[in-house]
Structure formats: structure tokens, C-alpha cells
Structure 1
């Protein structure tokens, strides 16, 4: 942003002042809620990288084959998901209307174990590829299309980059998915940011079990 929205470009924008903070956030936001919303995210790579298609496929496999079972069926949450954003280069997990906090974060750690296992096959990968392709090819209404075009411009993502991503996606193999899973998914969850919205009571109870790595608590 500092580079692309500079006065020298003549675009009329003044770049915002951004202070860099290298601390990995672990935040809990309290509000009047009987349930929790639990998110965890970590940086991976953007669309231009050769690992990007595998990460997109992994997100679909985890959502349908692991998180639905662990977060919704076992945990009782309204839903759970994994998402990979190839434009920003972030991978994340989330749950909503969730009765748990610590158990859900442990389930996210378990995702690293699942995706490195043999609990899914070539057909599952093929179906995940189709899901990613359908999202790429889905037409957007004018408003969202304009927002996406603007975002891609400031992030320097060209149509050629998106076409290369899809080409690599369609030729993806099980070996590539396994290699990327080993490369990016750490069972310990090191370097992963956490944000939780819940009641103060639930947040305090969760922090009791987090030891020397608690959530920093705030009020909404």
C-alpha cells in the first residue's frame, strides 16, 4: 500500500501511516453472547506461488471432511470452516455459534494431523478441485466485481496470474497436496493468530487452560 498509493503515482491518494507489530495476536473479545466465534489464521503464500492451488484444495478437504465432523457434529457448533485466500496469502479456520473455545482451537490443531494422513483419497482431491474451479468461474454482480477488480489492482494481481493459478489447479496431484500439507501445517499451531468473540465468562474459563499463552481480553 505504501508503495502503490504514493503521491509520486499521481493517483490522488495519501498512503496511510501503518505501524508494524511483529507480535502474533491472540485476542478474546467479550460481549453478551451465549456462544463463541473462534477464528485462527496464519500466513502462507499468494496466488502467484506454485503451492497456492494445493492450499486452495486443502481448505476444501478440511472443511468438508474434517471440520464439519469435529466442529459441528462433535462440538455442537452451528458451523466450522477452513478458508484460503490466494489474493492475500492467508489460510484460516473459523467456527460460529460455537459452545466451545479451547476444544475448537484443539480441533484446528488436529486439522494438521488430518491433512497429512491417508484419510482422504484421489477422488476427494478431484472433488475439491471442482469446488475451487466453480468459485473461480462464478460470475459476480457489478458491485462485488468492481470491488474485486480494485483490490486486485492495488495488490498487483493480474488476470494472467489468475489463469496460471487455474492451470496449475487443474493439473494438481496427490503428491503435490501431500508436499504442501507437510510444508505449511504445523500441529503445534506456531505463528498462528487467534481471535475469539464470546462471553467474558467463557473467555476467562478458556484462559485458565492456556497457561502462559492466554488470550488478551478486550470488551466490545
Structure 2
């Protein structure tokens, strides 16, 4: 992927700072390494940019400790790139990553580590971890008009948080979709598979041995041998 082309394509719409470029690069590394489909990659970037106040770094929910302690879900306040909240979701997040179920409950700050935050962003939306809705419920994997893609991206907000700021986030996804295309990222997210080798030509059977001698030959042999 041409990172310079990606940033050139989005800089008119996204305020790029040294901090969020580092964050973008982390996301793009993850997307490339796993071959995430382009529309899903774009929506993941848009969600992360919104949930992290455009820092593109794992953060804790904004607010003082006093304010956050007033939340019903304290101490399991929003953390990560997609702001996981509530104890039960901390447990689900651990199970999704194949980790001990209490790892984030016992140490919530672990959700701020890149090794956990990135897969929870992309895998979490892929499997419907947050609301039961997943990416395939809204994104069809077809490169269509901006209007249609915006409709799909906007509806996809239901994967995370109902319809909150759905159009704003959808428009960001369009920007990131444009950036990924400009960078040469393949739509399917993976290189085209190698052509399937042609099957070998059928083996022609070896000529069979001549049939057993006919009756005339047998008679000739009986008379003269």
C-alpha cells in the first residue's frame, strides 16, 4: 500500500497530526497483514477515529475519575479503540481473543494495549461483539456510488452504538475508502489468488495386447503344427 498516497487523499478532510499518523500506520499495518476487505477496513478506520476523538490511539473514556465513578458500569468504563464498556463486555472481549475470561476484568488497562485494541476493533465488529449486529449485516462488499456506500456506512453504526452520529462516521468512512483506493489497496483486501493449475491431460491407456487367437488360427495350428 502506498502510504503517502493514502495520506495525500485524506488530508483535505482529516486533520493529520504526528500522533494520529502513528495511529493510522498501526491500523494500516493490521489491515494489510490480515487482508481485511476494503469497505470493512474503511469503516474500521472511521469508527476508531470517532471513538478515539481522532487520535487513532487506544484511549480511556473521557472524564475525571469522579465523573466516571458515577457511571453504572464503573470501573469498566470505555477503553480501547472502540470504547468497550461494562464488565460483561470485558469478559466477551477476552473470550473473543482466546484469552482468560477475567484478564480485562482484573486489569482493565490492558484494553489500552495495541495488541488487544486493534483486534477488538476489527474482530469485534466482524462478529457482532458489541450489539449483536456485525459488518456483514450492513456492508455488501460491492464498490458502488458514494451515495450508496454512505447509506451502508451510516447504517453500520448500529454495530457499535445505535444511530449515534451515524452520518458523520459514514462520511469519514467514505474519506478513508477513497484513501485506501488511492493507496492501491485491493478491494477484496487480499492479492488475487494464484491461478489454479490446469489439470494434467488424461492418461491414454496403453494399447491392449492382441486378442486371443481366432478360431482359424487355432485350426491352422492344430492341422499343421
TM-score (norm 1): 0.25
**Larger C-alpha radius of gyration, 1 or 2?**
2
> Which has the bigger relative contact order, CA under 8 A and spacing at least 6?
1
Counting helix residues as a fraction of each chain, which structure ranks higher? 2
Say which structure is richer in strand.
Answer: 1
TM-score, L = length of structure 2: 0.24
